Structure 1
Amino acid sequence: MNKLSYKPLLLLIALAGSSCTKDNFDNTDFLKTGTAPADQAINFNISNDNSGLVTITPNSAGATAYDIYFGDASISPTRVLPGQNTTHIYKEGTYPVKVVATGITGLKSETIKQLVVTFRAPESLTITANANLHDLTVSASALYATGGFKVYFGDAANEVPVLIAEGASVTHTYASAGKYTVKVEALSGGAASTSATKDVTIYNALTLPMIFEQPDVNYAWGDFGGSNTTIIPNPYPSGINTSATVGKIVKTKDQTWAGNYISMSSPLDFTSNKKFKVKVYSFRPGLRVLLQLERSGDNSFMENVEAVTTTANAWEELTFDFSSKITDNSKRLQNILFFLDNGTLGDGSQNYTILFDDIVLTN
């Protein structure tokens, strides 16, 4: 009884199994009807900072990958997936960029597009030139000067320029003092460039005696505390001083310690001579003149001697004797300073004015 009741159920299962259809996942016939990627395009985004950086973005219908050939000296392509891009650095020029697109079927299509890279001319060119006697150090800066700078120093015919990068400098030594025009050409890295010039004066060494008559020497006196020093035509050529040019110091009512200074080209040599003689023209007797010597860049090394004018409205020679203060050259004293009535407030009048000339180191 129990065995007979299972037969109809087994029959139904057998019939149902015989009516099912098997799915076939191995059929690749559709690949035979596939096509290569179509509607292919190449987009370029070219940087405008003269770096040569170009972003290349391919696009097409049906591509699964792109091989990009940059069209320059590089040989191997770069593989890019859909929706992505790649970058490449170019020099200025025209390049046939080729993109080969591959579809899911393996079929390929290629497109070539001309890429034109043009660099802009550099802008805001600035020249910095610092002279140290006959040595001139030049640097330059500019926007978009990715090719660097050509520097011409202006002292030779058919001059071959020196190439420097931004942030770098070059030093040139002139054979003689004089006025020169320095030219700098800022390079874009391509054909475009920008040029500028700067006039410079090259001086001979500042040594003693200091006579204010040499146009190729820089008598660059500095002032502090309200002193005012100038180099002027001699307003009183007479007596012991008939030279054409002299120095003039005016002490104003700014500070009691007002003074001036000049740095010699090298430390003073006291091997044989330790006395300074200076011709001065004062408008009153009794004006105290302090001559101070300092090490360049370090006023903790100093010596000074004071002398007093004895006449008014006439040239006289003051002597500053350092014999008891300086025995050798170990202090490397290089700067010369003058103070008028040191410790007293000036007023800018002739009472606090002095002319000076012919600074001599003697024995």
Structure 2
Amino acid sequence: MKNIKKIIGFCLILTTFFSCSLNDNLEDNTDINGAEIVTQDKIFDISTDNSGLVRITPISEGGMSYEVQYGHGTGVGASAIVNPGASTTHIYPEGNYTVTIISTDITGNSTTNTYPLSVVYVAPTNVVVIQNFAGTVLTVTATATNANGFTVNWGDASSTQTMSGSLGGTFTAPTHNYAPGVYTLTVTALSGGIATTTVTYPVTVNAPFGLPITYESPIQNYNIGGTFGGVDVAQVANPFPGGINTSATVRRYTKTNSAASWSGTWTPLSAPNGVPIDISNGSKIKVMVYSTEVGKLLNVEIEQGSGGVSNKVLKVASTVANQWEELVFDFGTFGIPAGTTFGQLVFRYNDAASGVGEVIYLDNITQSN
């Protein structure tokens, strides 16, 4: 019986010995295998502002240092050494990359792991485009959330241009000089990748104001200048097409009940937005008029004469009611020197009395001999 107990005890000692040896070997194998990196979603922190900035944080059990190879760039900018718990950052263009992390444990053994990285830029939002005209020259500035750049297409067959600026800032295009006309301005906000956001704007570049005045041109600002004394004016559809005037658009001139006797309109004709009246091109100014009364006077006044020539005023009465007629204002009676120019055109109606709500229509203002 004693011998049996001794045998059992000896076996227990052997079992314990081999068990300890196996456990020791497993621990050694774990060290030899090196550090194990965990899942990639804990490694990458990808910015969403189109900066391309990615923070890479190696995480493992047993890692004492890490070499991060970005999968993008060259030379010293292609990798970084990172301590445990620390991160490294890298700016990526939009695209797909393979990031390699080599982790080294306390014994100097290393483990290499690779991780796919996808960097996708988002389309810019909140696009704001500001247009500033100086005559026919346009300056464009633009901002947008997450915009890495802008392009501008002027809409007049000239080449598309790139607007300069930086992410999150204001982008400015080179100034552009238009010929008078109607255009579509196209501004595209760039993400830095494939995604873009495009906005369009109608652009009307007015021709310099001058005679003849037809009230029909889409590139003419017929409201240049203004009114005084209580007059109201507007471009309207011709309410009485027929006779000598079948044009589509005319100017309605209303001398309201509160309008002063001296009320009227003024239109600048000086450069750069206007073309002065040159008396050498003809001393007569003709105006088509539709009025409901006979005998009230329409004033045509040419002002701001060159060479010290004073303002000139002519008054002509309507001769028919409720139909279009052409009134002729002959400034040749003043003996104005040839080559004299006038920089402003003024209209008044019935300046002998205050307004009582009269409405007349004007159209096709021309100059001739």
Matched, 1:338 2:347: yes
What is the identity, as a one-letter code, of the residue corresponding to 1:227? Answer: D
Matched, 1:48 2:39: no
- Cα 1:209/1:39, change in 2 over 3 Å: same
- Cα 1:118/1:342, change in 2 over 3 Å: farther
What is the identity, as a one-letter code, of the residue corresponding to 1:151? Answer: N
Secondary structure of the structure 2 residue equivalent to 1:272: helix
Which stretch shifts more, 128-137 or 59-68? Answer: 128-137
- Cα 1:234/1:173, change in 2 over 3 Å: same
Q: How does 1:1-363 map to 2 (within 5 A)?
A: 38-41=35-38, 43-76=43-76, 77-125=79-127, 141-149=143-151, 151=153, 153=155, 161-165=160-164, 166-169=171-174, 171=176, 173=178, 177=181, 180-200=183-203, 206-212=209-215, 215=217, 217-222=219-224, 223-224=226-227, 227-233=232-238, 235=240, 237-238=242-243, 241-242=244-245, 244=247, 246-252=250-256, 256=260, 259-262=264-267, 265-268=273-276, 270=278, 272=280, 275=283, 277-279=285-287, 280-284=289-293, 285-287=295-297, 289=299, 291=301, 293=303, 304-311=311-318, 313-314=320-321, 315=325, 316-319=327-330, 334=343, 336-340=345-349, 346=355, 349=357, 351=358, 353-361=359-367
5+ residue gaps, structure 1: 1-32, 296-300
Return the alpha-carbon distance in structure 2 between the equivalents of residues 58 and 302 of structure 1.
Answer: 86
What is the identity, as a one-letter code, of the residue corresponding to 1:291? Answer: E
TM-score scaled by structure 2?
A: 0.63
What is the identity, as a one-letter code, of the residue corresponding to 1:354? Answer: I
- Cα 1:254/1:137, change in 2 over 3 Å: farther
Secondary structure of the structure 1 residue equivalent to 2:89: strand
Q: Is the 8 A contact 1:154 1:183 kept in 2?
A: no
- Cα 1:148/1:328, change in 2 over 3 Å: same
What is the identity, as a one-letter code, of the residue corresponding to 2:73? Answer: A
Return the alpha-carbon distance in structure 1 between the equivalents of residues 299 and 258 of structure 2.
Answer: 18
Return the alpha-carbon distance in structure 2 between the equivalents of residues 37 and 266 of structure 1.
Answer: 83
- Cα 1:63/1:262, change in 2 over 3 Å: farther
Which stretch shifts more, 315-324 or 108-117? Answer: 315-324
Which stretch shifts more, 227-236 or 269-278? Answer: 269-278
Return the alpha-carbon distance in structure 2 between the equivalents of residues 290 and 252 of structure 1.
Answer: 19
Identity of aligned residues (%): 27
Q: Once the 2 structures are TM-superposed, how far is the Cα of residue 47 of structure 1 from its aligned partner?
A: 1.7
Return the alpha-carbon distance in structure 2 between the equivalents of residues 192 and 251 of structure 1.
Answer: 56
The CA RMSD over aligned residues, in Å, is 4.6
Secondary structure of the structure 1 residue equivalent to 2:123: coil
Q: Is the 8 A contact 1:186 1:193 kept in 2?
A: yes
Give the number of equivalent residue pairs: 313
5+ residue gaps, structure 2: 1-29, 165-170
Q: Once the 2 structures are TM-superposed, how far is the Cα of residue 123 of structure 1 from its aligned partner?
A: 3.0
What is the identity, as a one-letter code, of the residue corresponding to 2:212? Answer: P
Return the alpha-carbon distance in structure 1 between the equivalents of residues 120 and 309 of structure 2.
Answer: 61
Secondary structure of the structure 1 residue equivalent to 2:278: coil
- Cα 1:170/1:189, change in 2 over 3 Å: farther
Q: Is the 8 A contact 1:153 1:172 kept in 2?
A: no
What is the identity, as a one-letter code, of the residue corresponding to 1:356? Answer: L
Return the alpha-carbon distance in structure 2 between the equivalents of residues 294 and 106 of structure 1.
Answer: 93
Q: Is the 8 A contact 1:227 1:258 kept in 2?
A: no
- Cα 1:112/1:253, change in 2 over 3 Å: farther
